[in-house]
Structure 1
Amino acid sequence: MIKTISLLLASVVLSTTSYANTQEKFDLYVNALKQEAQQKGYEQSLIDEAFATAKFKKKVIKADKNQPEVVETLETYLPKRVPQWKIDRARKLYKKHQVELEKIAQEFGVQARFIVALWGLESNFGRIQGGYSVISSLVTLAFDGRREALYKRQLWAALDILKNGHISLEKFKGSWAGAMGQTQFMPTSFNAYAVDYDKDGRKDIWTTELDAFASIANYLKQAGWNDDLTWGRQVKLPKGLNSEYVLKRGTKTRKQWLEYWKDSERSLAKWQSLGLRKADGTNLPLVDITAALVMPDDINGRMYLAYDNYKALMHWNRSYYFATSVGYLSDRIAYPKI
């Protein structure tokens, strides 16, 4: 018993010592960030106020390093990400905000159903935005060092958001990774794409739905969205189709992925001649557009002909599962009988 207690006390001492060392290093790192912020020209009052709230968040490090590695396929992913209740809610909220959504859709050239789909998938229609201090999360992740340059860039963008008065420091909350609001924009994306649609002087993606809708639309527009097109369609492949036609997966950069897209891209007429058909076995549309062949899983899983708008969705989140789930939900908003 005495030996067990001694071991427990030793464990506590080591844990406390480790935390103290980490906290000391963190405090030194915060001081260095404050000096760098001064060099970048931020006002001292903003620096003092923002960094006074910066706390080392062990949970953030744990979340970053221990993200679940669950073996998924699109067949298991879609029912979880786009369950029937979410489809029903998306249709209900589309109808509720239809006038405003269609006005924004026309102004930005982005179909309203895609705005609602992204809204639903990113924050459950604004209900789940995260309760972490954005400043603490970004400082903690930068301090961790694995992607310091990335998170320091996000931190300066976050200071710009505060400097410009879009939100108060006490309400500046987001996910553990620093994604914010109903759109779950990272700070750099906020500064590039957020919109003050209601003209109140603040780009409020946290509590103002119109700003969130317009910000989503603006992001897609700036990413090259074309509202003359949809996102893609599920297709059936002929037996023995050469794998060189399939868009490659596992690329490290967007530039590389776009190069692979070009290698796969062909006209619908060409895909028809190669034996591809709609999921129900009928012919592909007689439309003069191009598409790339996307294989989210393997040759036995779902296959999609993806149009140019799919590239905009992949700009938002470079995941076949995510981009496909946005398209899947948008289709079910627009076509209730699917």
Structure 2
Amino acid sequence: MIKKLAIILLTTILSTPLIAAQKTQADFDLYVVALKQEALAKGYDKTLLEQAFATAKFKEKVISADKNQPEVKETLETYLPKRVPQWKIDRARKLYKENQQVLEKIADEYGVQARFIVALWGLESNFGKIQGGHSVIASLVTLAFDGRRETMYKNQLWAALDILQSGHITLDKFKGSWAGAMGQTQFMPTSFNAYAVDYNNDGRKDIWTTKEDAFASIANYLKQAGWNDNLTWGRQVKLPDGFDSQSILQRGTKTRKQWLEYWAKSERSLADWQALGVRKMDGTDLPNVDVTAALVMPDDMGGRMYLAYDNYKALMHWNRSYYFATSVGYLSDRIGYPAIN
């Protein structure tokens, strides 16, 4: 009983955010002891925990990376050429052709156009080349220990232990980004457990080395997020002079629930947007099809404007960033597709 109370007290103390300078290796070691006890109470195998937590070294660089993410002022005009340069477009087209048979089979089975699978593959991991070399366990334990988002990163840690316990990857190969994003899809562990697919039926959901599993996992994520393969993602448009900005979805740090509420307020039929003076970039009429769209403003009234279809919401479910969602759509367009004209 005394040992249990001590663990509870220790966990309470260590879960309180501290000034970075106050945190020491000794604090981290005590925190790991408490985490192991909590994991044991959740039913994880003791041998697995001993092996996994032996890799949980305190990574100051991980906390530094989390606290000092670059805040460069970008616009889509500067962002898109860097995120989607011509070499990436060329490589996306080449790899699409090389993997066309399996990509289009998966696209048909999941109802997600292959060009979007390739676009996400390219933007998340440079087509599998950049997956991160950090120990997933070490990163997640370090970020939980940091305390600012402890609950979130502990949930990711439990999910990571589930992945190891299920045998999808061995501990020595369990690598990812400094934030714990993994594989060719850069899924966080909870996303892996929700969406990863064992497409080649070898008993493992291998998003690290098996392209088929990675492709199907991307497609499954989008399908579960509400993807409609009868639609594209959106289109850049021109607004008339004096357009009322109240109907435009703007940048912000809204929760997903709030963002969807704003989307619902903005959403209109293409016929309604046409009546409001919105036009294609070349000045011609919008498509005469029964489709609804929200008007998205990634920058400001002087920047690019997009009519975003429902699939844009699925991309925002993946990453709630207008720049990210737009870059996926932009790359998918450059890969090529039969457009709604």
- TM-score, normalised relative to structure 1: 0.93
Q: Runs of 5+ in structure 2 lacking a partner?
A: 1-19
Contact 2:237 2:279 (8 Å CA) reproduced:
yes
Separation (CA, whole Å) in 1 of partners of 2:337 and 2:111? 20
Separation (CA, whole Å) in 1 of partners of 2:251 and 2:56? 38
CA drift of 1:280 comes to 1.1
CA drift of 1:331 comes to 0.3
Deviation per CA, 1:123-159: give whole Å up to 9, x if none: 0000000000000000000000010000000000000
The one-letter code sitting in structure 2 at the alignment partner of 1:205 is: I
Give the equivalent residue in structure 2 for 1:320.
Answer: 322
Give the equivalent residue in structure 2 for 1:227.
Answer: 229
The match for 1:128 among 127, 130, 133 is: 130
Distance verdict in 2 for CA 1:305–1:218, change over 3 Å: same
Give the equivalent residue in structure 2 for 1:176.
Answer: 178
**Which SS does the other structure have where 2:187 is aligned?**
coil
Contact 2:115 2:337 (8 Å CA) reproduced:
no
**Which SS does the other structure have where 1:247 is aligned?**
strand
Deviation per CA, 1:131-188: give whole Å up to 9, x if none: 0000000000000001000000000000000000000000000000000000000000
**Which SS does the other structure have where 2:218 is aligned?**
helix
Aligned residues: 320
Deviation per CA, 1:83-105: give whole Å up to 9, x if none: 00000000000000001000000
Separation (CA, whole Å) in 2 of partners of 1:19 and 1:275? 56
Give the equivalent residue in structure 2 for 1:163.
Answer: 165
Separation (CA, whole Å) in 1 of partners of 2:65 and 2:267? 37
Separation (CA, whole Å) in 1 of partners of 2:228 and 2:337? 20
CA drift of 1:226 comes to 0.2
Deviation per CA, 1:187-246: give whole Å up to 9, x if none: 000000000000000000000000000000000000000000000000000001101110
CA drift of 1:247 comes to 1.1
Give the equivalent residue in structure 1 for 2:210.
Answer: 208
The one-letter code sitting in structure 2 at the alignment partner of 1:45 is: T
Identify which range, 163-172 or 240-249, moves more after superposition.
240-249
Distance verdict in 2 for CA 1:67–1:20, change over 3 Å: closer
The one-letter code sitting in structure 2 at the alignment partner of 1:71 is: K
CA drift of 1:20 comes to 10
Q: How does 1:1-338 map to 2 (within 5 A)?
A: 22-334=24-336
Distance verdict in 2 for CA 1:21–1:254, change over 3 Å: closer
**Which SS does the other structure have where 2:257 is aligned?**
helix
Separation (CA, whole Å) in 2 of partners of 1:212 and 1:33? 31
Separation (CA, whole Å) in 2 of partners of 1:335 and 1:196? 28
Separation (CA, whole Å) in 2 of partners of 1:281 and 1:234? 11
Separation (CA, whole Å) in 2 of partners of 1:132 and 1:201? 25
Contact 1:248 1:260 (8 Å CA) reproduced:
no
Separation (CA, whole Å) in 2 of partners of 1:94 and 1:320? 25
Separation (CA, whole Å) in 1 of partners of 2:23 and 2:145? 13
Q: Runs of 5+ in structure 1 lacking a partner?
A: 1-17
CA drift of 1:251 comes to 3.7
Give the equivalent residue in structure 2 for 1:8.
Answer: none
Deviation per CA, 1:61-94: give whole Å up to 9, x if none: 1100011110100000000000000000000000
CA drift of 1:108 comes to 0.2
The one-letter code sitting in structure 1 at the alignment partner of 2:169 is: I
Identify which range, 45-54 or 194-203, moves more after superposition.
45-54
**Which SS does the other structure have where 1:282 is aligned?**
coil
Separation (CA, whole Å) in 1 of partners of 2:309 and 2:205? 31
Contact 2:251 2:299 (8 Å CA) reproduced:
no
